[in-house]
Amino acid sequence: MAEITYREAVIQAMSEEMRRDDAVFLIGEDVGPSGGIFKCSEGLFDEFGAARVIDAPISEAGYIGLSVGAAVTGMRPIAELMFGDFSLLTMDQIVNQAAKIRYMTGGQCRVPLTIRTTMGAGRSSAAQHSQSLHALFAHIPGLKVALPSCPRDAKGLLKTAIRDDNPVLVFEGKMMYNDKGPVPEEEYTIPFGVAEVKRAGDDCTIIAVSSMVGLALEAAQTLSREDEISVEVVDPRTLVPLDEETLVESVRKTGYALIVDEASLRYGVTGELAALVTEAAFDYLDAPVKRIGAANVPIPFSPTLEGAAIPHSETIVDAVRALRGKIRR
Amino acid sequence: MAKKVTARRAKPVAKKKVTAALPEGASKRKTKPPRAKTAARRSGKAPRAKTAAKSNGLDADMLWSMYRKMVQIRKFEEHVWDVYIRGLMPGLAHLYIGEEAVAVGACAALREDDYITSTHRGHGHCLAKGARLDRMMAEIMGKEAGYCRGKGGSMHIADMSLGNLGANGIVGGGFGVATGAALSAKMRGTDQVSLCFFGDGAANQGILLETGNMAAIWNLPVIYVCENNQYGEHTPSDKVTGSERIVDRAEAMGLAGVRVEGADVMEVYEVVAAAVSRARRGDGATFVEMMTYRFRGHHVGDAATYRTAKELKWWMENRDPINLLGERMIKHGIADRSRLERVDEQVEEEVVEAVEFARNAPLPPAEQAREDVYA
Ligand SMILES: Cc1ncc(C[n+]2csc(CCOP(=O)(O)OP(=O)(O)O)c2C)c(N)n1
Ligand SMILES: [Mg+2]
């Protein structure tokens, strides 16, 4: 295992896949010689050249549209949308075109399109550069959605996305780009629809995605130390397809479930997963399922305000204590 | 790709004075339509066929084949009308009657492995690209034997085996796919081209600027074919379009542009053929505005009360693409009336057979609703 950053993992995934398959190319704003605003394509331009690492004009809808057309005619584009917020400019291309062209044509084509974008607050980037919009896409039949929570998953899931014959959105947690973690030195991929138990435990299940996994692991340590509560942390890793079995099994084992997502709470991923585990593990639950997400406000700018809007590991600790009856909320 | 940026300006093509190419056989007395301006004009730097449609020396086989294809589309659409009125098809039907020369002339300039993207008014494009009548009619009736196994219907017919990447229910939905197919052809090192059909209404979608700009900076082999039938649904194009000539937007995007009399199938063919060879040579994209008119309402059931009977009559009398070509073929001794009629009869039979095939074809079993979502 090598210790590399989440960013390096993303770069490795792309460069390995571009070496493996000539049909793979990268298109996005500033992805070329500059290496991208998050430095996530550093070195790619030098290795693969302008023909395969394409600096697009600031035309998100346009270049996602081009990527759809390229995907149905034999290429395997990786399109980068700098901030997840900008995906909103491309909704027609992703939702009406990419997600449906195969279905509408009765299976006449494949759409091997990977859209890499970012999610998450924490940089005082305010309301238009901080959103976590993965639930919008997970809602759409025809799309797949992956949310890597560590360098190993960032690499393995992205490689799988690039090899997948369907449109996949990979949401990278922008606060994690500098985080280091162990990544296998040898070639590997991580299959979609396989959740990972990031920490085993007996007393309560936390289902978390993206950077919330790290917070949940932190919370689990605190709870173990201070409350002797043994927490199991499960990361679905892909929302579509979803490994229902692993999530449900964990909840059946512990009898308690807390679901954590960084997006606004209402109508989001936490609601969907809460419904899933409630329906499938109702008889095993010792308390109603709890959910944590961002406040239902646009992400504010000032650090005190931003901090108040998003989940923290203390929020998670408190929620588990409440679930386990340690404190009344 | 970035290296190509310097070559963004479309190569000016030799300017040649071209008189308004009025199709022969058109009424000479009254060449101005009541409302719209139709005289074929063009912007400065457009590709241009070497000869304006000189009917002498024309390839007779090609004229026959274009004539037949236009009749096929006309009759197909008439039967779609009939099928719709009789309640044999679900959904909506946007008919292409009156605009046949655009699809037929344009697709005649393409190879089978070239791409097109189509619109909600797409039956003509699909047939012109070579689709079968029976599988098209079956799709329109929602049958399993249809091109899309009944999942797309009238507005989403595609035949990817013939390069038809699909019609679109989203006005302007084809710009991205068509331009991306051109990017793909270029990256794969083929000399395929991609042709994007869209309406005057779609020309007001912002993504045209985005994709047209990318076609220009990367010199992509794409041809944007604007079918200016002068209405978007019920609204006259000039009420909602700032530039008098849509093609004038081409230059601003760095694309070559040309405006064409869209009822003249030869003119359409020659201009598109020039644009296609330009694209194949690697000289980049072209924007062609086709002046045309739909003889029916926006869709079957639309009485089209927003336009005058006089205007419609003018277009039907002076700009019926099938009549224009037929008259020209007669004039040049390529056809006589009875041979033309025989084609009409043969095609009518083929279409009737297609309708019968589609009527008798089974509906898809309900469980197929869950298939084809993911590859
Ligand atoms: C994005 C979008 N907006 C509106 C519509 C509704 N609509 C369907 S066809 C049409 C008119 C399109 O006009 P034009 O592009 O000129 O094509 P035409 O129907 O004249 O062939 C409209 C507004 C739609 N399908 N998609
Ligand atoms: Mg129109």
The side-by-side arrangement of strands in the sheet containing A53-55 is A53-55, A24-28, A76-81, A114-119, A168-173, A144-146, A238-240
The CA distances from residue B115 to A50, A213, B120, B156, B160, in Å, are 25, 45, 17, 15, 9
Residue A275 burial by CB count (10 A; 0-12/13-18/19+): exposed, middle or buried?
A: exposed
DSSP secondary-structure letter at B164? B
b (16+ CB within 10 A) / e for B266-300: bbbbbbbbbbbebbbeebbbbbbbbbbbbbbbbbb
Closest partner residue to B180 (CB to CB) among A52, A65, A107 is A65
Confidence label for B142 from pLDDT (cuts 50, 70 and 90): very high
Confidence label for B351 from pLDDT (cuts 50, 70 and 90): very high
**What is the tens place of the pLDDT at every residue in B165-191?**
999 999 999 999 999 999 999 999 999
**What is the tens place of the pLDDT at every residue in A31-73?**
999 999 999 999 999 999 999 999 999 999 999 999 999 999 9
| Rounded mean pLDDT, B88-111 | 97
Closest partner residue to A51 (CB to CB) among B115, B165, B187 is B187
Average pLDDT along chain B: 89
Residues A156 and B26: their CA atoms lie apart, in Å, by 66
Q: Do residue B210 and residue A141 have CB atoms under 8 angstroms apart?
A: no
**Domain A196-323 indexed as CATH 3.20.20.140:** no
DSSP symbols for A194-263 = --EEEE--SSEEEEE-THHHHHHHHHHHHHHHHH---EEEEE-SEEES--HHHHHHHHHHHS-EEEEEEE
Tokens of B366: 């309900």
Give me the pLDDT at residue B111, please: 98
Residues B248 and B30: their CA atoms lie apart, in Å, by 27
Q: How far is B303 from chain A (nearest CA, A)?
A: 29
Domain A196-323 in the same topology as domain A2-183: yes
Residues B96 and B322: their CA atoms lie apart, in Å, by 13
Question: Do the Cβ atoms of A260 and A270 come closer than 8 Å?
Answer: yes
Confidence label for B13 from pLDDT (cuts 50, 70 and 90): very low
Residues A45 and A53: their CA atoms lie apart, in Å, by 6
Look up the ipTM and state it: 0.95
A34: which chain B residues are within 8 Å (Cβ-Cβ)? none
A240 versus B19: the higher-pLDDT residue is A240
**What is the tens place of the pLDDT at every residue in B27-48?**
434 455 665 443 333 333 455 5
Q: Give how far the C-alpha of residue B99 lies from the chain's centroid of Cα atoms, to the nearest Å.
A: 7
Domain residues of chain B, as ranges? 59-252+264-358
Give me the pLDDT at residue A326, please: 72
Give me the pLDDT at residue B56, please: 53
| Rounded mean pLDDT, A100-108 | 98
From chain A, which residues contact B within 8 Å (Cβ)? 25, 32, 50-52, 54-57, 59, 61-75, 92-93, 96-97, 101-111, 141-142, 144, 165-166
Pick from A59-68, A156-165, B55-64, B165-174: least confident: B55-64
Average pLDDT along chain A: 97
Beta bridge partners of A205: A232, A257
Give me the pLDDT at residue B204, please: 98
| Rounded mean pLDDT, A204-210 | 98
Residue B146 clears pLDDT 70, i.e. is over it? yes
Q: Do residue A66 and residue B170 have CB atoms under 8 angstroms apart?
A: no
What are the residue ranges of helices labelled H in A32-191?
44-48, 60-71, 91, 101-104, 134-138, 151-163
Give me the pLDDT at residue B34, please: 63
**What is the tens place of the pLDDT at every residue in A270-288?**
999 999 999 999 999 999 9
The CATH number fitting domain A2-183, selected from 3.40.50.970, 2.120.10.30, 3.30.930.10, 3.40.50.2300:
3.40.50.970
The CA distances from residue A266 to A270, A280, A291, A310, B234, in Å, are 8, 21, 10, 13, 40
Q: Give how far the C-alpha of residue A108 lies from the chain's centroid of Cα atoms, to the nearest Å.
A: 29
Active site members of A: 129
Residue A134 clears pLDDT 90, i.e. is over it? yes
**What is the tens place of the pLDDT at every residue in A220-277?**
999 999 999 999 999 999 999 999 999 999 999 999 999 999 999 999 999 999 999 9
Residues B101 and B262: their CA atoms lie apart, in Å, by 6
> Residues of chain B with pLDDT > 70: what percent?
85
| Rounded mean pLDDT, B364-371 | 97
| Rounded mean pLDDT, B212-232 | 98
Domain residues of chain A, as ranges? 2-183, 196-323
Beta bridge partners of A116: A80, A170
Question: Do the Cβ atoms of A34 and A80 come closer than 8 Å?
Answer: no
Give me the pLDDT at residue B33, please: 65
Q: How far is A207 from chain B (nearest CA, A)?
A: 26
Beta bridge partners of A184: none
Which residue type, as a one-letter code, is found at position A232? E
Question: Do the Cβ atoms of A195 and A228 come closer than 8 Å?
Answer: no
Kind and range of the H or E element at A114? strand A114-119
Closest partner residue to B207 (CB to CB) among A62, A69, A103 is A62
Q: What angle do CA A55, A57, A58 make, to 5 degrees?
A: 120
Give me the pLDDT at residue B58, please: 72
Place of tokens 């008889």: A283
Tell me, yes or no, if B175 comes closer than 8 A to chain A by beta carbon.
Answer: yes
Beta bridge partners of B226: B198, B289
The CATH number that domain B59-252+264-358 falls under is 3.40.50.970
Beta bridge partners of B288: B225, B258
| Rounded mean pLDDT, B138-158 | 97
Give me the pLDDT at residue B57, please: 57
Residues 105-144 of B with CB under 8 A from A: 115, 117
Q: Do residue A51 and residue B177 have CB atoms under 8 angstroms apart?
A: no
